[in-house]
């Protein structure tokens, strides 16, 4: 079955540091890939998505590229801010059944 693996956390960075959060998936065919973010005390919100191989999703300075050859969808940001402190979830979806498979999430803390 489908699965998503995220790097172990938590991650602590200084403001303006470069961020990479790794995500790999196991799935047949061509799923869609997502990054969701959960700020403290809130529900999840969609950060970015990619629906086919080599697509790049981007939002709020974050980027991720759908790499089918390495089955990866790593999240990157060139310069993190304190306000980026949150939990980040990688997810995989299939249009046929509308369900999402989530990774375990990783907590990012950015210090001033």
Q: Would you give the distance in Å from CA 52 to the centre of its chain?
A: 15
The tokens describing 21, both together, are: 């959060």
The reply on whether position 111 binds other proteins by CB under 8 A is no
- Residue from 29, 40, 96, 112 touching other proteins (CB under 8 A): that is 96
The reply on whether position 94 binds other proteins by CB under 8 A is yes
In angstroms, rounded to a whole number, what is the distance separating the alpha carbons of residues 69 and 84? 29
The reply on whether position 104 binds other proteins by CB under 8 A is yes
What are the helix and strand counts (H, E) for the chain? 0, 12
Find, among 38, 25, 29, 6, the residue nearest to 47 by Cα: 38
The reply on whether position 10 binds other proteins by CB under 8 A is no
Q: Would you give the distance in Å from CA 98 to the centre of its chain?
A: 18
From 16-24, 29-37, 61-69, 78-86, span contacting other proteins (CB under 8 A): 29-37
- Residue from 43, 69, 70, 112 touching other proteins (CB under 8 A): that is 43
The reply on whether position 24 binds other proteins by CB under 8 A is no
Contact positions vs other proteins (CB under 8 A): 32, 34, 36, 41-46, 49, 89, 93-96, 98-100, 102-105
């Amino acid at each position: 079955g489908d699965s998503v693996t995220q790097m172990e956390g938590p991650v602590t960075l200084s403001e303006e540091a470069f961020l990479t959060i790794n995500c790999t998936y196991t799935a047949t065919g061509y799923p869609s890939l997502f990054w969701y973010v959960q700020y403290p005390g809130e529900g999840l919100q969609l950060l970015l998505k990619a629906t086919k191989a080599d697509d790049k999703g981007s939002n709020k300075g974050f980027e991720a590229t759908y790499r089918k050859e390495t089955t990866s969808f790593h999240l990157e940001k060139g310069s993190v801010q304190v306000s980026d402190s949150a939990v980040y979830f990688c997810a995989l979806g299939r249009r046929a059944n509308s369900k999402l498979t989530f990774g375990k999430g990783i907590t990012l803390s950015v210090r001033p």
